[in-house]
Amino acid sequence: MLSVDGLTVRADSAELVHQVSFAIAPGERVGLIGESGSGKSLTALSLMGLLPEGVTASGTARLGERDLVGVPESRIKDLRGRELSMVFQEPMTALNPLMRIGAQVAEVMTLHGRSSPEARARALDLLGRVRLPDPEQIFRAYPHQLSGGQRQRVMLAIALANEPRLLICDEPTTALDVTVQKQMLELIAEVAPALLFITHDLAVVASVCERVLVMYGGRVVESGPIREVFTRPRHRYTEGLLAASKLTPRGTRLPTIQGNVPPAGHFPDGCVFRNRCPQATTACEQVPALTGDGHAHACWHPAD
Amino acid sequence: MTLYLLKRLAVLVASTAVAAVVVFAFMGLLPGDPAEIALGVNATPEAVAELRRQFGTDRAPVVQFLDWFGGLLHGDFGTSYVTSSPIGPQISDRLAVTTVLVVGGMIVALLVAVPLGTFAAVHHRNPLGALISAASQIGIAVPAFLAGILLVFVFAVQAQALPSGGYVPIAENPAEWLRGLLLPWLSLGLVQGAVLTRYVRSAVLDVMREDYLRTARAKGRGSTGALWRHGLRNASIPVVTVLGLQLATLLIGAVVVERVFVIPGLGDLLLNGVAGRDLLLVQGVVMVLVAAVLLINFVVDVAYHLLDPRLR
């Protein structure tokens, strides 16, 4: 249903996302993980056609028969909010502070051809469906009267309003309280059609997704079914990520990946991870290809 | 909202009363006794004392203030010591002219600033947007009276299209009234418009970076549609603040522009009053100007509340 092939995102001379390819089948839930600066959000934004000014995408991405990348905004804006929706990281600023919640939910439906009374009635339904207490009151409220978790539910209601084929969630729970996170994740898992779920939190991916793409330095370095990737990571970066997220006995040093993510455009040639990788050799000066069916990895020295 | 309005109204009344005390006290501090001024240097002390009694300036300052302030409350500004005519009607006639001048200037400023500022923000990455920014910078540097003189030179002297000054009441001849006001409106409005353009530009630029604009686009709006539906009202909040401050500035600017264009407004009356040492007249005009500024602030505050639900 969604197929991305050779997606590359650049800002001026720096290449931020390099030749990313993946596909999502109808109903499939795919996680996209990696540290900040690995290009996850840019990948998602380029599918929505919402890249910041001065940042451009090339390659192909198709949703069904429609091209998403490299077409003018006027030709894809009818897809946004209808076939393809997105929930952003920061719920506190994602809603217009001067407009009532109900109007903001109804807007996404009137924009795509529903009549105003119908959209309002359905907006009320949707607020209930994302389990907001007292939907009628929320419908009339302004964003500042809602908590972060409630606002994120409103964003989810907006995203689901037109029953899109694909929902993209970019760190939807990162800004929320831990207690609210779990409810939100369960809700997303329950209502999402097909899902592209971006996060840096491995536990979250494991609970929501079936398949995972690991990104580092603007490349997909490993991909495969959650269970396999998490129990038998092949790429050394994935291995490091998993080690860093494990609970460690009291008194031992927390395992980390040495070094920091370099700034955009300053990743090494060859394997992008080689300057932080404990296994790196001269072989790593060549770019490793993403190989393997099902569980794929791009590494010259994969773990067993 | 009603409670807020009542509270704010109480503040308006209280601050106006305080302003009246300050204005009165300040005028009292000025040297020069109205009776002595009226009678000249050769007057006998008895005649001066007699005139003071007539003017009422022999009474205690507190009594004089209460008398004056009590009069203000029902529109009586007292009688001029110099011309012996009542001040209230003069002020109200002149206030009407100045209001027309200032409001017209503000409308010109808005007509210039909102489209230009928005355009400059949307096109901030290309040369035309930068050109508007640069042009507004020049506009800011030009004082209103200079703009007035330049406009007179171009449109009245060179093109002979509009009168260089004078004022025809609207009841007498609406067309001439309008022709007479065009240049004053432009000279007040263009300069303020240049300042406002920069504020509108930066407000719109700020709003364009907001997440909710991205949300609107994610819903399926184009970037222009998102800006119209979700951006402009948000951008208007900081602009309203500046607008309020500018109205006050315009009121002061009007004093000068009225001189340039020979318009019988409050500024003209004020300058005449000062020149003729008509203290009570000056006091009245200053009071009206101060009250107008307080009223503008009140309107701005109420406008905030109407615009922004977070304040309610």
Confidence of residue A8 (pLDDT cuts 50, 70, 90): very high
Count of domains observed in chain B: 2
Which of B54, B76, B98 terminates a domain? The answer is B76
Q: Which residue of B has its CA nearest to A155?
A: B215
Interface of B with A (CB under 8 A): 125, 210-212, 214-223, 229-230, 233-234, 307-310
Q: Give the percent of chain A with pLDDT over 70.
A: 99
Same domain, yes or no: B239 and B202: yes
The DSSP secondary structure of B22-64, one letter per residue, reads HHHHHHHHSS--HHHHHH-TT--HHHHHHHHHHHTTTS-HHHH
CA distance B49 to B51: 5
DSSP B79: B
What average pLDDT does the segment A3-15 reach? 89
- Which chain B residues are closer than 8 Å to A111 by Cβ? 219-221
Write down the pLDDT at residue A243.
84
Has residue B83 been placed in a domain? no
C-alpha R_g of chain B: 24
CB pairs under 8 A between A and B: 72
Given a cut of 80, whether residue A249 has pLDDT beyond it is no
Q: Percentage of chain A with pLDDT > 90?
A: 45
B210 within domain boundaries: yes
Query: Is residue B112 domain-resident?
Result: yes
B18 touches B287 (CB < 8 A): no
List the one residue out of B207, B240, B199, B201 whose CA is nearest residue B226: B207
- pLDDT score recorded for residue B12: 94
Instruction: Inform me whether the pLDDT recorded for A230 exceeds 70.
Output: yes
Q: Are residues B202 and B70 in the same domain?
A: no
Contacts of A88 (CB under 8 A, 6+ apart): A94, A155, A170, A172, B211, B214, B215, B218
| Residue A150: per-residue pLDDT | 92
CA distances from B39 to A174, A270, B29, B36, B44 (A): 83, 100, 21, 5, 9
Q: Are residues B25 and B164 in the same domain?
A: no
Q: Which residues of A touch B214 (CB under 8 A)?
A: 50, 88, 94
B36 and B134 together in one domain: no
* Angle formed by the axes of helices B87-122 and B266-275, nearest 10°: 130
Structural domain boundaries enclosing B283: 88-311
For A117-131, what is the mean pLDDT? 92
Residues of chain B contacting residue A94, judged by C-beta atoms under 8 Å apart: 211-212, 214-215
Q: How far apart are the CA of B221 and the nearest CA of chain A, in angstroms? A: 6
Q: How far apart are CA A280 and CA A298, in angstroms?
A: 13
What's the token pair of residue A224? 């495969």
Pairing of strands A66-67, A194-199: unpaired
pLDDT value for B213: 94
Q: How many helices (H) and strands (E) does chain B have?
A: 13, 0
Q: Are residues B300 and B175 in the same domain?
A: yes
Q: What does the pLDDT look like over B201-222, one tens digit per residue? A: 999 999 999 999 999 999 999 8
Mode of pairing for the β-strands spanning A29-33 and A211-216: parallel
Same domain for B109 and B22, yes or no, is: no
pLDDT digits (tens, 9 = 90+) for A72-81: 888 888 899 9
Beta-strand relationship, A296-297 and A166-170: unpaired
Whether residues B107 and B26 share a domain: the answer is no
Is B4 part of any domain?
A: no
Q: Is the pLDDT of residue A304 over 80?
A: no
**Per-residue pLDDT at B27:** 85
3-state secondary structure chain A: CEEEEEEEEEECCEEEEEEEEEEECCCCEEEEECCCCCCHHHHHHHHHCCCCCCEEEEEEEEECCEECCCCCHHHHCCCECCCEEEECCCCCCCCCCCCCHHHHHHHHHHCCCCCHHHHHHHHHHHHHHCCCCCHHHHHHCCHHHCCHHHHHHHHHHHHHCCCCCEEEEECCCCCCCHHHHHHHHHHHHHHCCEEEEEECCHHHHHHHCCEEEEEECCEEEEEEEHHHHHHCCCCHHHHHHHHHHCCCCCCCCCCCCCCCCCCCCCCCCCCCCCCCCCCCCHHHHCCCCCECCCCEECCCCCCC
> Average pLDDT, stretch A138-149?
94
Residues B27, B279 contacting (CB under 8 angstroms) = yes
Nearest one of A14, A49, A84 to A262, comparing CA atoms: A14
Q: Are residues B298 and B224 in the same domain?
A: yes
Distance between CA atoms of A170 and A45, rounded to whole angstroms?
Answer: 9
Per the CB < 8 Å rule, is B222 touching A107?
A: no
The pLDDT tens digits of the residues spanning A52-63 come to: 888 999 999 999
Note whether A93 contacts B210, CB cutoff 8 Å: yes
Residues B165 and B223 grouped into a single domain: yes
Tokens at B247, concatenated: 């109205």
Residue A22 touches chain B, beta carbons under 8 Å: no
Closest CA of chain B from A77, distance in Å: 5
Is the pLDDT confidence value at A246 over 80?
no
Q: pLDDT category, A247, cuts 50, 70, 90?
A: low
Q: What is the DSSP letter of B262?
A: T
State whether B214 and A88 contact (CB < 8 Å): yes
φ, ψ of residue A35 in degrees (nearest 5): -70, 170
Taking the C-alpha atoms of residue B114 and residue B99, their distance in angstroms, rounded to an integer, is 22
Q: Determine the pLDDT at residue A33.
A: 92
Neighbours of A47 (CB within 10 A): 25
Q: Which of B52, B76, B100 is the last residue of a domain?
A: B76
Q: End of a domain among B76, B111, B130?
A: B76
Residue B6 in any domain: the answer is no
Average pLDDT by consecutive 10-residue portion of chain B (312 residues)? 90 94 87 78 84 84 90 87 87 92 93 93 88 84 80 84 83 89 90 91 94 94 91 92 87 84 89 87 92 92 89 82
Q: What is the Cα–Cα distance from B90 to B77, expressed in whole angstroms? A: 10
Contact A98 B219 (CB under 8 A): no
- Mean per-residue pLDDT, A170-194: 85
Q: Are residues B65 and B156 in the same domain?
A: no
- Binary contact (A111, B221; C-beta < 8 A): yes
- Per the domain annotation, does B3 fall within a domain? no
pLDDT at A82: 92
Residue B236 has a pLDDT of 92
Tell which of A42, A56, A84, A96 to mutate to test the B interface (max B CBs under 10 Å). Answer: A96
Tell me, yes or no, whether B205 and B138 share the same domain. Answer: yes
Residue of A nearest to B307 (CA): A98
B95 with B203, same domain?
Answer: yes
What helix, strand, coil percent values describe chain B, rounded to 5?
Answer: 80, 0, 20
pTM: 0.83
Q: Which residues contact B259 (CB under 8 A, 6 or more apart)?
A: B145, B267, B268, B271
Write the residue in B219, B222, B309 that is nearest to A142 by C-beta.
B309
Dist. CA B161–CA B31, nearest whole Å: 47
Asked whether residue B7 is domain-assigned, the answer is: no
Residue A163 contacts B where some CB pair is shorter than 8 Å: no
Asked if residue B99 is part of any domain, the answer here is: yes
Residues A1-30: b if buried by 16+ CB within 10 A, e if exposed: bbebeebbbbbeeebbbbbbbbebeeebbb
Better pLDDT: A51 or A265? A51
CATH number of the CATH domain containing B225: 1.10.3720.10
